[in-house]
Copies of this chain bind each other. A is one copy, B any other.
Amino acid sequence: MGKRFKVNYRIPFYESDINHQIKLPHLLSFALQVSGLQSEELGNTDEFILEKYNLVWVITDYELEIERLPNYAETIEVETEAIAYNKLFCYRKFFIYGQDGQKIIDISSTFVLMDYDSRKVVSVKEAIVEPYGSEKIKKIIRGPKYDSLDDSAEQVLFHVRYLDLDMNGHVNNSKYLEWMYEAMDLDFLKQHIPKKIQLKYLKEIHYGKDILSLIQRDGLSTKHEIRSDQGLHAQALIEWRLKEGDQDDL
């Protein structure tokens, strides 16, 4: 068991969507902030590992199981725990609890360490993961198989914007999910909420690039890809449910 760390957060107006629930890409950003705060508490900040080892943390995979989304003005608790690591991957969980104390979202994430200059993944350094008290394992946790989308996929064009960039000049992780959302019908987004999201990051995107957000929908399942002229950058599988509880499994 790794060390757990948690933060309370009240969903602000400006991060609430037309369904009066948190904008999901923002929840991913906030969760990442919580793991950053844990690193800070443990004296193991991103700045420290960049200075000492020239390494940065990069997320490769997310899996979200969503019971319900937090509502506008609800005070949630975001808890995180570094669960385990192997030679290359570090596995971290995030648990979101609603105002009533019930767990409403469970997030599994996979991180790797990347050399800041070469942008190559390096093996996990014990000194970097030791403070979190997570378990060393041999097993590699595999994500789902993401089939390639075919020509019937809808495509929506986006341009990487200045405010999409983070402090390091890279496109913020949460933007990929934003582009996936933006490729969907407004009516579908008004009537459905995500139940399960699997998301894989493959390659960084740079400022000024044009990207395509591809979507293929089959009932309550959608498949997504983010592509540019440099190839595939991210893939996702999303299962949706109707907003009204009774009709969940139609």
- Which A residues have a C-beta under 8 Å from some C-beta of B? 12-14, 16-18, 20, 23, 25, 29-30, 32-33, 36, 72, 161-163, 165-169, 172, 174, 178, 181-182, 184, 186, 189, 207-208
Contact = CB atoms under 8 A, between A and B. Distances in A.
Contacts of A168: 18
A33 B13 contact: yes
A201 B167 CA distance: 29
B33 A165 contact: no
A32 B16 CA distance: 14
A119 to B, nearest CB: 18
A116 to B, nearest CB: 15
A147 to B, nearest CB: 26
A14 B208 CA distance: 19
B167 A72 contact: yes
A247 B172 CA distance: 32
A72 B47 CA distance: 12
A23 B33 CA distance: 16
Given A14-B172, A14-B174, A33-B12, A25 B166 contact: no
A18 B165 contact: yes
